[in-house]
Amino acid sequence: MATSAGSASDSKTTKGRSKSPAGASRPDAVELLKADHRQVEDWFEQFSSAGEDDDDLKEELAARICAALTIHTTIEEEIFYPAFLEATGDTDIHHEAVIEHGGAKNLIEEIADSDIDDEYFDARVKVLSEMIKHHVKEEEQSDGMFDQARNSDMDLVALGQELAQRKQELTEELAEEVDEDEEEDEEEDEE
Ligand SMILES: [Fe+2]
Ligand SMILES: [Fe+2]
């Protein structure tokens, strides 16, 4: 959790790259988004190497993947993509990325609505992992979106802070929704 609450709008730091009180650099926008990619890749790998009947683990990993991707695509679309479009004017790369997000979101919704007993569950997660692999490659490849962002005049340090803050908000909102759903399920079970 954040260790420097309240400092996000504190601009009285010395000029240059933003530093936390401990002196460590906060991740800039591209670093933060790439770290999300690595995290989700790791969970997809764990999913694919999980035992055929390890339903609990697969269900848990699928839920984590869907939540993380929902938050990731949201912060990209709300903050990073508009800033990229404004700075570079590259509508081709931008629009393609938005359409790819749309495809991933449909599948995420299907996974969230389906049960681990559904015979298509594993196939949905596998296809989602392939879609995300392709999308991540496009964002990270040479001359792709992240490369172009680095070569533009985008303020990636400030954007990184904005992304981190929004990510935290969405993580908290999602956790509340999960709690509410669980409470509802418990009430239904009691009836
Ligand atoms: Fe991304
Ligand atoms: Fe993306």
Domains and CATH numbers, the chain: 29-174 (1.20.120)
CA of residue 97 to ligand 2 center, whole Å:
6
CA of residue 68 to ligand 1 center, whole Å:
11
* Phi and psi, residue 149, nearest 5°: -65, -45
pLDDT at 18 over 50: no
pLDDT for 14: 37
| 191 band by pLDDT with thresholds 50, 70 and 90 | low
* Phi and psi, residue 47, nearest 5°: -60, -45
Mean pLDDT of the chain: 88
| Rounded Cα distance, 187 and 191, in Å | 7
Neighbours of 96 (CB within 10 A): 14
pTM value? 0.84
pLDDT at 2 over 90: no
CA of residue 78 to ligand 1 center, whole Å:
12
pLDDT at 93 over 70: yes
CA of residue 125 to ligand 1 center, whole Å:
17
Neighbours of 162 (CB within 10 A): 18
Residues 25-69 pLDDT 10s: 789 999 999 999 999 999 999 999 999 889 999 999 999 999 999
| Rounded Cα distance, 187 and 189, in Å | 5
pLDDT at 17 over 80: no
pLDDT for 5: 38
